Structure 1
Amino acid sequence: MIQPHIHVDSQQIAERVIVCGDPARAARIASWCEGGEHLSTNREFSVYSAWFQGVKVTICSTGIGAPSMLIALEELKQCGATHIIRVGSAGALQNHVGLGELIIAEGAVRDDGGSLSYLPQSYPAVADLALTMRLLDVAGKLKAAHHLGLVRSHDSFYTDEEMQICQFWHQRGILAADMETSALLAVGRYRGLKVASVLNNVVLYEQDVQQGIAQFNQAEADMMQGEKLSALIALEALVSF
Structure 2
Amino acid sequence: MSIQSKEVLNEKGQQYHICVEKGQIGKYVLLPGDPGRTDLIARFLDNPKLVAYNREHKTWTGYLDGEMVSVTSTGMGGPSAAICLEELIHAGAETFIRVGTCGRICEESYNKKYDGVVITGAIRHEGTTVQYIPIEYPAIADRHVTEALVQSAREQGFCFAEGIAQCKDSFYGQHDPDSMPNGFMLKSYWEAWKKAGVMASEMESATVFIVAAIRGKRAGALMAYEHMNENTIKTAIGAIEKLIKADRMQSEK
Q: Distance in 2 between matches of 1:224 and 1:196?
A: 18
Provide the secondary structure at the position in 2 that maps to 1:96: helix
- 1:106 aligned residue: 120
2:141 — aligned with what?
Answer: 127
CA distance in 2, matches of 1:168, 1:79: 40
Q: Which moved more, 1:152-161 or 1:170-179?
A: 152-161
Give me the TM-score of the superposition, normalised by structure 2: 0.82
Write out aligned runs for 1:1-241 (5 A).
1-97=13-109, 98=111, 101-159=115-173, 160=177, 161=183, 162-202=186-226, 216=227, 223-241=228-246
* SS in structure 1 of the partner of residue 47 of structure 2: strand
**What is the letter of the counterpart of residue 102 of structure 1?**
G
Gaps of 5+ in 1: 203-215, 217-222
- Work out whether residues 144 and 229 of structure 1, in 8 Å CA contact, stay in contact via their aligned partners in 2: no
What CA distance in whole angstroms lies between the structure 2 residues aligned with 1:143 and 1:61?
Answer: 27
Is the contact between residue 138 and residue 236 of structure 1 (CA under 8 Å) also seen in structure 2? no
- Deviation at residue 226 of structure 1 after TM alignment: 4.0
Task: Give how far 1:165 is off.
Answer: 3.2
CA displacement, residues 139-184 of structure 1 (integer Å, 9 cap, x when unaligned): 1101111111211101012122354432220111111111000011
- Output the CA distance in 2 between the equivalents of 1:6 and 1:32: 22
Q: Which runs of 4+ in 1 moved over 4 A?
A: none
Gaps of 5+ in 2: 1-12, 178-182, 247-253
1:45 and 1:64 mapped to 2: Cα distance? 10
Kept after mapping to 1: 8 A contact 2:108/2:199? no
Whole-Å Cα distance in 1 between the matches of residues 245 and 225 of structure 2? 25
SS at match of 1:92: coil
Contact 1:18–1:234 under 8 Å retained in 2: no
Deviates more, 1:161-170 or 1:51-60: 161-170
Q: How far apart, in 2, do the equivalents of 1:101 and 1:50 lie?
A: 26
Would the alpha carbon gap of residues 60 and 131 (structure 1) be closer, same or farther in structure 2, given more than 3 Å must change? same
Is contact 1:50–1:58 with CA below 8 Å preserved after alignment?
yes
Residue 235 to residue 130, structure 1, CA distance change in 2 (3 Å) = closer
Task: State the shift of 1:230 in Å.
Answer: 4.2
Q: TM-score, normalised by structure 1?
A: 0.86
The answer on whether the counterparts of 2:18 and 2:57 sit within 8 Å (CA) in structure 1 is: yes
Distance 1:94 1:226, change over 3 A: farther
Q: CA deviation at 1:105?
A: 1.3
Equivalent residues of 1:87, 1:234 under 8 A apart: no
CA distance in 2, matches of 1:230, 1:19: 14
- What SS does the aligned partner of 1:158 have? helix
Whether the aligned pair in 2 keeps the contact of 1:29 and 1:231 (CA below 8 Å) is no
